[in-house]
C-alpha cells in the first residue's frame, strides 16, 4: 500500500484541503484516499498487459516474450493506446452527435425551451459547407446544418468536411498520409476492429489509424459539438464568474450540474430563473436556487452565463461533503460512481439524466429534448423538496472562492485584437514575432489524484507566464487557474513576464485565457490555424511557437485530444504516467511505441506526444520547443530585458516621479 498523504499533499487548493480534513473527521473515503490505497499495476500501467481475448490476459515482462497468440509488446501497447484514443473520440463525438440532433429538433420547433441564439455563427458555420444562407430563415439553415452534421457521423466514404477548416498545407499532408477521416463512426469502429485479436499487428500501422480516429474527434465530433453549442447557447464572450466551493450558499437550495453536455444544464439555468421555481424555493424556506457546476458542464455554463464553478474533477466529492448540496445533476463523462455512496452520508440526491448513464442508487430523471424545460423544472423541484432534509449540523462550506473572467472563444479573441471592423490575429502574431510574447501554451486537461490536485497545472502555468508565454486553457486545467486567481486581468498580471504583461495591459485581457470545456479544445485548433493563416509565423500549425500540455491528465478523452493536436502539428506534453511507458530497464524493446509517438509522429506530422513527469523538465521542454520554432522562423531570440517599459505598470511608476523626471522617463534624457 502506498504511503497515506496529508491533506496539503493531496491538493494545493485551500478549499479542498479543508474538505479533506473534514473527510477525515467524518471517516469518509474520497478519490484521494482511494488513490493511496490502490497500487497501480506496473505491467498494465506500462501498456504491456493484453486482455483482448479469452486466452489472456497476457502480461509481457521479459525480453522477447510474446502473448499466447504471438503478439509482441509493441503491438499490444499500440492496440491499448489506440483503444483508449477511440474511446475518447467516441465520448466527444457522441456528445457532438447529440448536439446535432438537438439542433435539428430546435430548427423544427420540437425542442421545448431552445432557440437559436447566435444566428451570425450559424450563418458562418453553414458557409463553411456551402449551405445556402441568403434569404433563408435561421431555422431553415439550422435544419440543413443539422442534417449535414448528423451525416458526418455515419458517412462511409470520402472525407469529413470540417477538415476544410484546417490549413491547406495540413489537409494536403493528411491526404498524403492517408489519415483524413472518412466518417466519425467509421474510424472509431475500425479502431476497435483493427485492435481485435488477429487483426492489425504492426504497431506503426495501428497507430496511424489512431491518428485518423483522433482527427475524426478533433476536426469533426468535438468541433461539431462546439459549433452547435455556440449556435444554440451563444458564442462565449468575457463575463464575470466565480470558482471554488465557496460559491455554494448556506441559505439557498444548492444544485450542482456535473458532466459535459450543455443541453440540459443550459435549460436548468433557464428554469432556475423562472419565477415559479423561485417562489417554490422560497416556499420551502430557502432564498432561492443557487446553481453551480463541476467539470466541463461548469465550463459550459460559466463561460456563457457566468454561473459559478464549484470546482474541477476532484471537487465532485468534496462538494457533496459540504452537506449543503440538495442535488447533484449529472449527464455524461467524468462522473465518479463513488458519488452515490458518499451522498448517502448526507441528504444530497444524485440525479442521473442521460439515457446512456445510470448509477445504481441514483435517482434517474431522464432528459428529453422535446420537453427539456419541463424536465429541468422537475429536477429543480426535486432538489427544492430535498432542502428540508439538510442537516445543518453536517454543513460545512469553505469560504474560498475567486473571481474570474472566462469566455475567450476564438471569435472573441479575434474581436478583442482588432475590434469589429478589423478583427484579426495580426496583433498576436506581431507580438510573438517581436518577442514580446515568447510563444503560446495550451494547458488543458484533468485532475488526477495520483498527483497533488492543481499543483502541476498551476506550477507550469505560473512558470510559463513568467517566461512571457501566453496561456490558453480549457477543462479542469482552466478551473485550476481560475481558483488561483490567474484569470482576472490585473490580479493575474503580477505573475507575468514584462512583454506579455504589456500586451495584456494594452488589449485588456488576463494572461490566462479560459477557452471552455474539453470539446472546446477545437477552439484552440481554430486559433492556431488562424494564426498560421494570418502570416508571419509560417504557414501551418507545426511552425508556430506553441505547445500543448496536460500536466494532470487521466481520461481517455485527453489521449484523443493529444493525438489530434499532434496530428495537427502540435508538440504535446503530458504529465504523470505514460500508458505506454514500457519497462526499458527490463525489456529492451518496450519503448518502440513511445519512440514512434514522439520521433515517428514528428517526422510524419510535425507534432509529437511525450510524457514528462517532472514539472521542471516539462517547462524546460516547452520553452526549448518554443525557442526552436522561433529560431526556425528566423524570429529574434527571446530577450525579456527588451520589454516592459510601456504599459500600466510603467505609467504607475512614472506617475510617482517629479515633473522633470516624468518627462525624462517618457521621452528619454535627450528631450
Ligand atoms: Fe494474449 Fe494475444 Fe489474447 Fe492479447 S490477443 S490476450 S496477447 S492471446
Ligand atoms: S471534465 S475529461 S476531468 S478535463 Fe472535461 Fe475535467 Fe478531464 Fe473530465
Give the bridge partners for 350, in sequence order: 328
Return d(Cα 357, Cα 363) in angstroms, integer. Answer: 11
* CATH code of 94's domain: 1.20.1270.30
Separation between Cα atoms, residue 95 and residue 333, nearest integer Å: 10
Q: Can you tell me which atom of ligand 2 is nearest the CA of 313?
A: 3
Whether 164 is in the pocket of ligand 1, judged by its Cβ within 6 Å, is no
**Residue 112 covered by a domain:** yes
Is 371 domain-assigned? yes
**What spacing in Å lies between the alpha carbon of 642 and ligand 2's midpoint?**
39
Q: Is 533 part of a structural domain of the chain?
A: yes
Going from the Cα of 99 to the center of ligand 1, the distance in angstroms, rounded, reads 38
If one counts every other C-beta atom within 10 angstroms of the C-beta of residue 471, the result is 27
Same domain for 487 and 631 = yes
Q: Which atom of ligand 1 is nearest to the CA of 198?
A: 5
Q: Which residues pair with 513 in a beta bridge?
A: 472
| Complete DSSP assignment for 460-513 | HHHHHHHTTEEEEE-HHHHHHHHHHTTTSHHHHHTTS-HHHHHHHHHHT--SEE
Cα 108 vs. chain centroid, distance in angstroms? 31
Residue 668, pLDDT > 80, answer no
453 lines ligand 2 (CB under 6 A): no
Q: For position 296, which CATH number holds?
A: 3.40.50.2030
Q: Specify the pairing of strand 58-59 against strand 49-50.
A: antiparallel
Domain that holds residue 392: 241-402
> For residues 244 and 562, what is the distance between their CA atoms, to the nearest angstrom?
27
393/417 same-domain check: no
446 Cβ below 6 A of ligand 2: yes
Final residue before a domain boundary, out of 402, 424, 441:
402
- Which ligand 2 atom sits closest to the C-alpha of 260? 5
**Pairing relation of β-strands 402-404 and 241-243?**
antiparallel
Q: Is residue 306 part of a domain?
A: yes
SS3 441: strand
Check pLDDT > 80 for residue 85: yes
Does residue 310 lie in a domain region? yes
Query: Do 274 and 423 fall within a single domain?
Result: no
Q: Whose CA is nearest to atom 8 of ligand 2?
A: 334
The CA–CA distances, whole Å, from 441 to 300, 546, 548 equal 21, 5, 6
Q: Which residues contact 582 (CB under 8 A, 6 or more apart)?
A: 46, 47, 48, 73, 77, 590, 591, 592, 593, 594
Grid coordinates 499532434 are at which residue?
566
Q: Write down the mean pLDDT value for the chain.
A: 94
Q: Is 52 in the pocket of ligand 1 (CB under 6 A)?
A: yes
Band of pLDDT at residue 416, cut at 50, 70 and 90: confident
- Angle among Cα 360, 518, 542 to the nearest 5 degrees reads 145
- Show the cell assigned to 23: 473527510
pLDDT for 419: 67
Distances (CA, A) of 540 to 167, 172, 412, 535, 607: 6, 11, 22, 10, 11
Q: Is 528 in the pocket of ligand 1 (CB under 6 A)?
A: no
397 lies in some domain: yes
For residue 477, give the ligand nearest its CA: 2
Beta partners for residue 257, in sequence order: 293, 329
The preferred substitution site among 49, 50, 196, 200 for testing ligand 1, maximizing ligand atoms within 8 Å of CB, is: 50
Q: What is the largest CA-CA distance in the chain?
A: 86
The whole-angstrom separation of Cα 33 and Cα 35 is: 5
| Residue 229: closest CA among 296, 291, 184, 295 | 296
Helix and strand counts by DSSP (H, E) for the chain: 30, 16
Q: Quote the CA–CA distance of 378 and 216 in Å, as a whole number.
A: 37
CA distances from 670 to 662, 663, 665 (A): 13, 10, 11
Q: Which of 44, 36, 29, 30 is nearest to 2 (CA)?
A: 36
Where residue 193 falls among pLDDT bands split at 50, 70, 90?
Answer: very high
Q: What is the pLDDT of residues 13-70, one digit of tens each?
A: 999 999 999 999 999 999 999 999 999 999 999 999 999 999 999 999 998 999 999 9
Is 57's C-beta closer than 6 angstroms to any atom of ligand 1? yes
474 CA to centre of ligand 2 in angstroms? 9
- Residue closest by Cα to atom 3 of ligand 1: 53
CB-based contacts of 418, cutoff 8 Å, min separation 6 = 424, 426, 427
Omega of the bond leading into 57 within 30 degrees of 0 (cis): yes
Same domain, 514 and 464: yes
Q: Best substitution site from 31, 84, 293, 296 to test ligand 2's pocket, by max atoms within 8 Å of Cβ?
A: 296
Q: Which residue among 95, 222, 330, 445 is best mutated to probe the pocket of ligand 2, counting the most ligand atoms within 8 A of its Cβ?
A: 445
- Grid coordinates representing 66 are 510474446
**380 and 416 together in one domain:** no
Classify 544 in phi/psi space as left (phi over 0), alpha (psi -120 to 50) or beta.
beta
For residues 261-284, one letter each, b for 16 or more C-beta atoms within 10 angstroms of the residue's C-beta and e for the rest, the string is bbbbbbbbbbbbeeeebbebbeeb
Domain presence at residue 68: no
Pocket test for ligand 2, best of 442, 453, 475 (most atoms within 8 A of CB): 475
Grid cell listed for 175: 491526404
* Averaged pLDDT for residues 296-311: 96
Q: What is the pLDDT of residue 397?
A: 98
Tell me, in angstroms, the distance from the centre of ligand 1 to residue 68's CA.
6
Number of the ligand closest to the Cα of 550: 2
Residue 150 has pLDDT above 70, yes or no: yes
Residues 463-489 pLDDT 10s:
999 999 999 999 999 999 999 999 987
196 Cβ closer than 6 Å to some ligand 1 atom: no
Question: Nearest CA to 243 among 489, 456, 488?
Answer: 488
State in Å: Cα 72 to ligand 2 middle: 32
Instruction: Kindly report, residue by residue over 537-590, the tens digit of the pLDDT.
Output: 999 999 999 999 999 999 999 999 999 999 999 999 999 999 999 988 888 888
What would the grid cell of residue 242 be?
466565480
DSSP characters over 573-621: EE-S--TT---TTT-TTTTHHHHIIIIIHHHHHS-EEEE---HHHHHHH
- Could you tell me if 21 and 316 are in contact, meaning their C-beta atoms sit under 8 angstroms apart? no
pLDDT band for 421, please (50, 70, 90 cuts).
low
- Which residue's CA is minimally distant from atom 7 of ligand 2? 446
484 C-alpha vs ligand 1 centroid, how far in Å?
Answer: 46
Region 350-362: mean pLDDT is: 97
What's the grid cell of residue 524?
484552440
The closest residue, in CA terms, to atom 3 on ligand 2 is 446
Residue 122 scores a pLDDT above 90: yes
- Give the closest ligand to the alpha carbon of residue 195: 1
Task: Decide: 60 in ligand 1 pocket, CB within 6 A.
Answer: no
Residue 67: closest CA among 79, 82, 81, 84: 79
| Atom of ligand 2 at shortest range from CA of 557 | 2
Measured in Å, residue 447 CA sits from the centre of ligand 2 at 7
Q: Is the CB of 141 under 6 A from ligand 1?
A: no
C-alpha cell at 495: 505573475
Interval 150-158 mean pLDDT: 98
Binding site membership of 26 for ligand 1 (Cβ less than 6 Å): no
Residues 397 and 506 in one domain: no
- For a pLDDT cut of 70, what percent of the chain falls above it? 96
Ligand 1 binding pocket includes 198 (Cβ within 6 Å): no
pTM recorded for the entire structure = 0.95
* C-beta 476 within 6 A of ligand 2: yes
> Does residue 174 fall inside a structural domain?
yes
Burial zone of 86 (CB within 10 Å; 0-12 exposed, 13-18 middle, 19+ buried): buried
Domain boundary at 402, 429, 456, which? 402
Give per-residue burial for 560-579: e unless 16+ CB within 10 Å, then b.
bbbbbbbbbbbbbbbbbbbb
Instruction: Give residue 158 CA to ligand 1 midpoint distance, Å.
Output: 34
Same-domain pairing of 318 and 414: no
66 CB under 6 A from ligand 1?
Answer: no
Cβ 7 under 6 angstroms from ligand 1: no
Residues 207, 106 share a domain: yes
Ligand 2 centre to CA of 286 (Å) is 32
Separation of alpha carbons 219 and 110, rounded Å? 28
* Residue 367 alpha carbon to ligand 2 centre in Å: 22
Same domain for 413 and 385: no
CA-based nearest residue to 609, from 559, 557, 545: 559
C-alpha angle with apex 15: 12 to 21, nearest 5 degrees? 90
Residue 317 sits in the same domain as residue 381: yes
- pLDDT value of residue 418: 73
Q: Are residues 283 and 165 in the same domain?
A: no
- 666 touches ligand 1 (CB under 6 Å): no
Would you place residue 671 in the very low, low, confident or very high pLDDT band (cuts 50, 70, 90)?
very low
CA 223/CA 211 separation, integer angstroms: 16
Which atom, in ligand 1's list, is nearest to the CA of 68? 8
Residue 479 CB neighbour total at 10 angstroms: 34
Q: Does the pLDDT at position 633 exceed 80?
A: yes
1 pLDDT above the threshold of 70:
no
Query: Does the CB atom of residue 234 touch ligand 2 within 6 A?
Result: no
Count of domains forming the chain: 4
User: What confidence tens digit (pLDDT) does each residue in 263-280 have?
Assistant: 999 999 999 999 999 999
CA nearest ligand 1 atom 2, residue: 69
Question: Which percentage of the chain shows pLDDT scores above 90?
Answer: 87
The pLDDT confidence band at residue 536, using thresholds 50, 70 and 90, is very high
Find how far residue 316's CA is from the centre of its chain.
Answer: 17
48 lines ligand 1 (CB under 6 A): no
Calpha distance 42→61 (Å, rounded): 10
Determine contact, residues 249/123, Cβ cutoff 8 Å. Answer: no
Q: How far is the CA of 52 from the centre of ligand 1 (A)?
A: 6
Task: Indicate whether 646 pLDDT > 70.
Answer: no
Closest ligand to residue 196's CA? 1
C-alpha cell of residue 637: 531570440
Choose one of 375, 402, 429: the last residue of a domain: 402
The answer to whether the CB of 313 is under 6 A from ligand 2 is yes
In this structure, the answer to whether residues 394 and 250 fall within a common structural domain is yes
Amino acid at each position: 500500500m502506498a504511503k497515506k498523504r496529508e491533506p496539503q499533499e493531496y491538493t494545493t487548493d485551500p478549499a479542498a484541503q479543508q474538505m479533506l480534513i473534514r473527510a477525515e473527521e467524518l471517516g469518509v473515503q474520497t478519490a484521494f484516499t482511494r488513490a493511496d490505497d490502490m497500487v497501480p499495476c506496473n505491467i498494465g500501467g506500462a501498456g504491456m498487459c493484453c486482455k483482448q481475448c479469452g486466452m489472456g490476459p497476457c502480461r509481457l515482462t521479459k525480453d522477447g516474450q510474446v502473448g499466447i497468440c504471438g503478439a509482441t509488446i509493441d503491438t499490444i501497447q499500440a492496440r491499448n493506446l489506440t483503444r483508449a484514443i477511440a474511446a475518447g473520440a467516441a465520448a466527444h463525438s457522441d456528445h457532438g452527435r447529440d448536439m446535432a440532433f438537438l439542433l435539428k429538433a430546435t430548427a423544427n420547433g420540437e425542442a421545448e425551451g431552445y432557440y437559436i441564439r447566435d444566428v451570425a455563427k450559424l450563418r458562418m458555420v453553414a458557409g463553411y459547407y456551402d449551405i445556402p444562407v441568403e434569404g433563408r430563415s435561421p431555422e431553415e439553415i439550422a435544419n440543413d446544418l443539422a442534417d449535414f452534421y448528423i451525416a458526418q457521423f455515419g458517412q462511409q466514404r470520402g472525407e469529413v468536411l470540417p477538415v476544410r477548416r484546417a490549413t491547406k498545407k495540413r489537409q494536403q499532408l493528411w491526404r498524403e498520409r492517408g489519415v483524413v477521416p472518412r466518417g466519425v463512426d467509421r474510424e472509431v469502429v475500425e479502431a476497435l476492429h483493427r485492435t481485435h485479436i488477429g487483426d492489425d499487428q504492426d504497431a506503426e500501422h495501428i497507430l496511424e489509424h489512431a491518428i485518423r480516429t483522433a482527427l475524426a474527434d478533433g476536426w469533426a465530433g468535438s468541433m461539431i459539438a462546439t459549433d452547435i453549442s455556440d449556435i444554440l447557447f451563444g458564442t462565449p464572450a468575457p463575463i464575470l464568474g466565480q470558482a471554488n466551493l465557496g460559491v455554494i450558499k448556506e441559505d439557498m437550495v444548492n444544485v450542482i450540474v456535473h458532466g459535459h453536455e450543455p443541453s440540459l444544464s443550459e435549460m436548468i439555468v433557464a428554469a432556475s430563473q423562472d419565477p415559479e421555481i423561485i417562489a417554490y424555493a422560497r416556499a420551502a424556506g430557502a432564498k432561492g436556487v443557487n446553481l453551480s457546476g463541476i467539470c466541463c458542464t461548469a465550463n459550459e455554463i460559466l463561460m456563457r452565463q457566468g454561473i459559478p464553478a464549484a470546482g474541477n474533477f476532484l471537487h465532485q466529492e468534496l462538494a457533496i461533503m459540504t452537506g449543503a448540496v440538495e442535488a447533484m445533476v449529472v449527464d455524461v463523462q467524468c462522473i465518479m460512481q463513488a458519488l452515490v455512496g458518499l451522498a448517502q452520508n448526507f441528504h444530497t440526491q444524485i440525479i442521473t439524466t442521460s439515457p446512456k448513464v445510470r448509477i445504481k442508487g441514483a435517482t434517474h430523471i431522464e432528459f428529453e429534448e422535446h420537453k427539456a424545460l419541463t424536465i429541468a423544472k422537475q429536477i429543480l423541484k426535486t432538489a427544492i423538496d430535498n432542502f428540508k432534509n439538510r442537516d445543518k449540523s453536517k454543513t460545512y462550506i469553505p469560504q474560498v472562492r475567486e473571481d474570474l473572467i472566462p469566455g475567450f472563444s476564438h471569435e472573441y479573441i479575434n474581436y478583442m485584437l482588432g475590434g469589429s471592423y478589423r478583427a484579426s490575429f495580426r496583433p498576436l502574431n506581431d507580438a510573438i514575432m517581436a518577442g514580446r510574447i515568447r510563444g503560446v501554451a495550451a494547458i488543458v486537461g484533468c485532475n488526477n489524484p495520483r498527483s497533488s490536485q492543481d499543483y502541476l497545472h498551476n506550477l507550469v502555468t505560473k512558470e510559463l507566464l513568467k517566461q512571457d508565454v501566453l496561456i490558453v486553457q480549457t477543462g479542469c486545467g482552466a478551473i485550476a487557474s481560475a481558483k488561483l486567481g490567474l484569470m482576472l486581468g490585473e490580479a493575474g498580471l503580477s505573475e507575468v513576464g514584462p512583454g506579455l504583461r504589456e500586451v495584456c495591459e494594452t488589449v485588456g485581457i488576463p494572461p490566462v485565457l479560459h477557452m471552455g470545456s474539453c470539446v472546446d479544445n477545437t477552439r484552440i485548433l481554430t486559433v492556431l490555424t488562424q494564426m498560421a493563416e494570418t502570416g508571419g509565423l509560417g504557414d501551418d500549425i507545426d511552425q508556430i511557437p506553441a505547445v500543448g500540455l496536460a500536466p494532470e491528465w487521466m481520461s481517455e478523452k485527453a489521449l484523443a485530444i493529444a493525438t489530434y493536436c499532434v496530428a495537427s502539428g502540435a508538440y504535446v506534453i503530458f504529465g504523470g504516467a505514460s500508458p505506454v511507458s514500457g519497462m526499458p530497464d527490463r525489456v529492451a524493446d518496450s519503448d518502440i511505441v513511445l519512440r514512434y509517438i514522439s520521433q515517428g509522429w514528428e517526422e510524419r506530422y510535425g507534432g509529437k506526444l511525450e510524457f514528462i513527469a517532472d514539472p521542471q523538465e516539462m517547462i524546460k521542454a516547452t520553452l526549448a520547443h518554443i525557442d526552436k520554432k522561433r529560431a526556425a522562423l528566423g524570429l529574434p531570440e527571446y530577450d525579456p530585458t527588451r520589454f516592459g517599459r510601456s504599459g500600466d505598470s510603467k505609467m504607475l511608476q512614472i506617475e510617482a516621479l517629479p515633473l522633470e523626471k516624468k518627462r525624462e522617463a517618457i521621452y528619454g534624457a535627450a528631450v
